[in-house]
Chains A and B, each alone.
Chain A
Amino acid sequence: MRPFRYHRPGTVAEAAQLIADLGEDGAILAGGTSLMTLARLGLAEPQHVVGLAGVPELCGIEGNSGDGITLGAMATLRQVETIPPVRRLAPGLAEAAHQVATVRIRNQATVGGTLVHADPSQDLPPMLMVYDAVARLTGPTRTREVPVAELFVDFFETVVDPDEILTSVHLPPASLGVIAGYLKFLPRTQDDYATISVAAGLTVVDGCIDTARIAVAGGGSTPQRCREAESALVGGGTDVAGLAAAADLVPEALDPVSDARGSGDYKREMARISTRRLLQRLVSESAT
């Protein structure tokens, strides 16, 4: 690994100034679980690293049913997994966080890092899409909000500008009523990246599906919403045939790469199976 100079700003403004000054020579370090791995592999060779560990305003998780949930960019995945407001109000998100690698990694990896890194197999992004989450970005001249569903552009590429910092992610209160769940398909080890994973959220009113969200990770160059499958569900019943028919629409929305975790065709098929199983689970949970 090439040595670099380490900077430790104390505020978002300081951090933003630093990355503006450093330009392409600088990289932002959140938990380091991805950046340091890339650096050790020689795939990232920053001369300057701007560590965000000393920026208090990026830390913490707050939430209630009236205001929704705000996750600081530096909140760890372990916090997302364990903190009561998330477990109570957005249990699907806690479930997805629980599925990330190991406790050791979750203690280190952050919400902001997992989004900006934009690895299409990460666990949190599809679930944040299900909760209609919105990312807040701060740049030198403006602050803007981008829905997580519109954040990703390609493999390891987002709409976040080089001089912007993702400061927080907000789950709006209206999204918290869904029954959400996460199914990570792991045919190899239990701490692997997903071969394919599905996040889904439903609201069921009088036996009828009122709203539906389905998002898949590992199915292409970015995590993605499966809007056709969602539309097929809305207004329909909760019978197995209807859920299966919606799940059958998921593979068409995907374009997964063939790799050590499976062929593209296999991943598509596993997305279909996983979606159907997850929807069946959510429907049975909605009945209790």
Chain B
Amino acid sequence: MSPALNPGAAPLSRRAVGDAVDRVRGTFTFAVDRRIEGTLHAVAVRSVAPHGRITSIDAADALAVPGVVAVIDGSHVAADDGISPWYGENRADQPVLAIGKVRYVGEPVALVIADSRATAEAAAAQVWVDIEELPHVVDPVLAGAPDAPQLHDEWPNNDSGTWTLVHGDAERAMATAAHVHTATYTSPAQNHVPMEPHSATGAWLPDGSLEVWTGTQSPYVVRQRLATMFRLDPDRVRVRGDSLGGAFGSKIDLRLEGLVALASRAVGAPVRMELRRDEVFQSASKHAATVTMTTGVDEDGLLVARIIDIVWNSGAYALQTPRSSRTGMIRSPGPYRIPHVLARSVARYTNTVPTGPFRGAMTGQVCWAHESAADEIAAELGVDPVEWRRRNLLRDGDAFATGDVMHEMHYVDLLTAVDDALTADAPPTSSTRTRTRRRGRGVAAVLKTTRTPTRSEAQVQVDAEGQVAVRTSAVEMGQGAAASLAEMAARRLDMPAEDVSVSWPDTGWTPFDQTTSSSRTTFATGLAVERAASDLRACIAQQVAQPWGITPDQVVHRDGCVSSPGDPAQRMTYADVVRSSGAGELVGTGRYETPPGAGRLDPETSQGNVSVHFHQGVVGVEVEVDTETGRVHVLRAHGATYAGRLIDAERARKQIEGGMLFGLGQAVMEETLYEAGQMINPNLSDYQIPSLLDVPLTSSTVLSDADPDAEPHGIGESTVPPMAPAVANAVHDAVGVRIRDLPVTAEKVLRALREKQADDRKN
């Protein structure tokens, strides 16, 4: 079946600039549209119990359904010497199919493989799974109690990662502070809600190698996981990607790839899976978190110390949590100059959907705390919250909580841009403040580290037809990465970006890239592409310089042609150069890697160089609150970020404004709800995301560095985390109530208003 999965030897590629037309017409091809002839279809049988021992699985009825080919479960997997079923980034705690035990509602227990998805779906309902239920726990704080149900024997106390950050002596400094503020802020589990559900197709080739087509953000991570799981050399696993219809972190690491590979191995044919929406909800979640923050300031309102305690809900399996919970902890002090910081972070397993990165990963939860606290502290000091931030925000030369000495800090300018945008209009007059509608404004800032250490590789090549192709393993998922990479290559080659094609990821052909996440693609993959394009440019110049009797650096590149400055007759297209070289194609290679030692932190104190640069974002919103219903309307939002060297202003603005809309849902409406250990709203009717009708007036500021040698900075996440605290701060400005538990629903606001009215009457 190799030909079926292998329509072309070389990686597929497309013109990236201008793909919006296909997206609007509905002719753009996403991963879920990929159909490979002759595939069977698998559907997962999922646990209906939050925690329990599997006592029996009876597949006889399902196997009797016409069209069903096989049913496999964890016992088959455990008995197969060719499989290491447990996986995870930091600890292999998650089985590809439940083995012996289930740990959350929705966990895959068995796979039904049939000739159609409908048949597999119908038969899956006839696999009878007996589970002896165990006590379950969904709250990460309760999961830390001594008598709490234990999810994993190997990982006691439900601990899925414990970290500390020690910078100075926060406890001693706190005692000297003129004013101390403390509060606890909670944020719930939320779903990424990519419009495109997850899908993958896997097949074993006759030579014993494995090939998988999948909608993934991290082709090389998937390759490594599959190689480990099926005890193969990584070169024997080929992971081929497509464009994604949104991902937001939900398509990182192993998702369906292990399942389709397992199914294909069992039946000897290619097998495809595609998730229903409720299964998307059951596959990945944002970490719920409880953050307690104690802050000390001096007489002038300057920060002297901050002590932070974080409890993360990692869900039933750790995946990246042991690493990422530390990353979140490191960002928790916020973008402020604080001489003394102590942060303690613990992540706990619970019987809920496993968590993973979520746009603005591990940062929304802590930003919610430090930016709500910022306004509360300013209010207690009687200082304007914008002014309080201006005094305390990080500037060049300040030390961050990791000891990093900060550079390229633009917070004060970003804050000023947001404040100016919000105050540009006349302040709301009394006519807009009707009796029951009050307006308010709020701002919030965020600091996010970028993935460090990190590595990306790229190739840029030109063939005898003059076709220029960029080959990377970066993933286009609606963020415009492919278009930006095409532009970066085209500029180095002095040719139109429209003429540059960009590959889909294909680990058989495209070079290593760590992941498409953490807002790293334009930066890390982009720099690798630029270096590859420069390498190709030098290679082309080399080819013509000697025959023309000039040095390579004298060669003029323009519009996809080279020429000699002194002699108009000496002019060749890139295609001519390739043809005359006799090489068939010319290839440039490039690589970006963070400097040695970058990202290395002290294991006890988390001091060190945490990030090669810092993502900086500030958001401001104006809201209207209905005092009789609690309904919060976000009327407008302005986002600002620092882009380093700017690649494309329009795409940057779309990321900033799109990020605010993504954050809006988390701010006011999104929350996955659990009852008796089961998620009760895994659908887009009960779990809502903002619709077009809910979009406020948005605008943006992009600060950048005009230096052509400056590094581009990622900007895809910088306005997501600040949205929720900006809204809560604006609500407080409007009606004087403080919500510390996300989302800021109308009902919570109304309850707080009524309590405040009762208190006001008492006083």
Q: Which residue numbers of A lie inside 8 Å of B, CB to CB? A: 1-3, 40-42, 102, 185, 187-193, 259-263, 266, 269-270, 273
Besides the known contacts A2-B122, A266-B750, 16 further A-B residue pairs in the complex with CB atoms under 8 A apart: A1-B121, A3-B118, A41-B278, A42-B125, A185-B629, A185-B631, A188-B668, A188-B688, A189-B689, A189-B690, A190-B694, A259-B686, A262-B745, A266-B747, A269-B750, A273-B628
> Distance in Å from the Cβ of B734 to the closest Cβ of chain A?
16
Q: Which 10 A-B pairs have the closest CB atoms?
A: A187-B746, A190-B693, A260-B686, A188-B669, A266-B747, A189-B691, A191-B691, A188-B688, A189-B688, A187-B631
Q: Mark B323-362, 1 if CB is under 8 A from A, else 0.
A: 0000000000000000000000000000000000000000
CB pairs A–B below 8 angstroms (28 shown): A1-B118, A2-B121, A40-B276, A41-B278, A41-B683, A102-B691, A187-B630, A187-B746, A187-B747, A188-B668, A188-B745, A189-B688, A189-B689, A189-B690, A190-B691, A190-B693, A190-B694, A192-B688, A193-B685, A259-B686, A260-B671, A260-B680, A260-B687, A262-B745, A266-B750, A269-B750, A270-B629, A273-B628
User: How many whole Å from A209's CB to the nearest CB in chain B?
Assistant: 23
Interface 1/0s, chain B 121-150, versus A by CB < 8 A? 110010000000000000000000000000
Whether A260 touches B631, Cβ cut-off 8 Å, given contacts A189-B690, A189-B691, A191-B691, is: no
Q: Which residues of the partner chain A approach B683 to less than 8 Å between Cβ atoms?
A: 41
| Interface residue ranges, B against A (CB under 8 Å) | 118, 121-122, 125, 276, 278, 628-631, 668-669, 671, 673, 680-681, 683, 685-691, 693-694, 745-747, 750
A269 and B631 alpha carbons, distance in the complex (Å): 13
Q: Which residues on the A side are within 8 Å of B680 (C-beta)?
A: 260
Looking at A102, A192, A260, which has the most chain B CB atoms within 10 Å of its CB? A260
Please classify the interface of chain B as helix (H, G, I), strand (E, B), loop, or mixed, using the class held by over half of its residues. loop
Q: A40 vs B687: C-alpha distance in the bound complex, in angstroms?
A: 17
A259 and B750 CA atoms in complex are apart in Å by 17
Cα distance, A191 to B693, chains bound together (Å):
7
Q: Is the CB of A189 within 8 A of B629?
A: no
Name the B residues within 8 Å of A270 (CB-CB): 629
Kindly report which residue of chain B lies nearest to residue A193, judged by CB atoms: B685
A-B contact count (CB 8 A): 58
Measured CA separation A120–B694 after assembly (Å): 24
CB contacts (< 8 Å) of A188 on chain B: these are: 668-669, 688, 745
Given A189-B688, A190-B694, A260-B629 contact (CB < 8 Å): no
A41 CA to B277 CA, complexed, in Å: 9
Roughly how many angstroms separate A31 CA and B549 CA in the complex, as a whole number?
A: 75
Give chain B residues whose Cβ lies under 8 Å from the Cβ of A261: 686
Inside 8 A of B693's CB, which chain A residues have their CB? Answer: 102, 189-191
Q: Across the interface, do B629 and A187 meet the contact criterion of CB distance under 8 Å?
A: yes
- For B669, what are the chain A residues with a Cβ–Cβ distance below 8 Å? 188-189
Bound Cα distance from A266 to B688, whole angstroms: 19
Residue of B118, B689, B747, B750 touching A2 (CB-CB under 8 A): B118
Residues of B within 8 A of A191 (CB): 691, 693
Which chain B residue lies CB-closest to A45?
B122
Q: Which residue of B lies closest to A269 (CB)?
A: B750
Across the interface, which residues of A come within 8 angstroms of B668, CB to CB?
188
* Cβ contacts under 8 Å, A40 to chain B: 276
Chain A: which residue is nearest B687 at the CB level?
A260
What is the CA–CA distance of A2 and B668 in the complex, to the nearest angstrom?
36
CB nearest to B690 among chain A residues: A189
Assembly CA distance A46 to B680 (angstroms): 25
Cα distance, A42 to B631, chains bound together (Å): 34
Give the Cβ gap from B528 to chain A, nearest Cβ, in Å: 41
Residue among A40, A185, A189, A190 having the largest count of chain B Cβ atoms under 10 Å? A189
Closest partner residue, chain A, to B743 (CB atom): A188
**A187 contact set on B, CB distance < 8 A:** 629-631, 745-747
Query: What is the distance, in angstroms, from A244's C-beta to the closest C-beta of chain B?
Result: 12
Q: Give the Cβ gap from A91 to chain B, nearest Cβ, in Å.
A: 22
What is the CA–CA distance of A192 and B746 in the complex, to the nearest angstrom? 14
> In the assembly, what is the distance between CA of A125 and CA of B543, in Å?
78
Contacts of A273 in B (CB 8 A): 628-629
Q: Please give me the residue from chain A that is nearest to B683 by CB atom.
A: A41
Residue of A nearest to B681 (CB): A260
B residues in contact with A266, CB < 8 Å: 747, 750
A223 → chain B closest CB, angstroms: 18
A195 to chain B: closest residue by CB: B746
Q: Given the complex of chains A and B, what is the CA–CA distance between A165 and B254 in angstroms?
A: 50
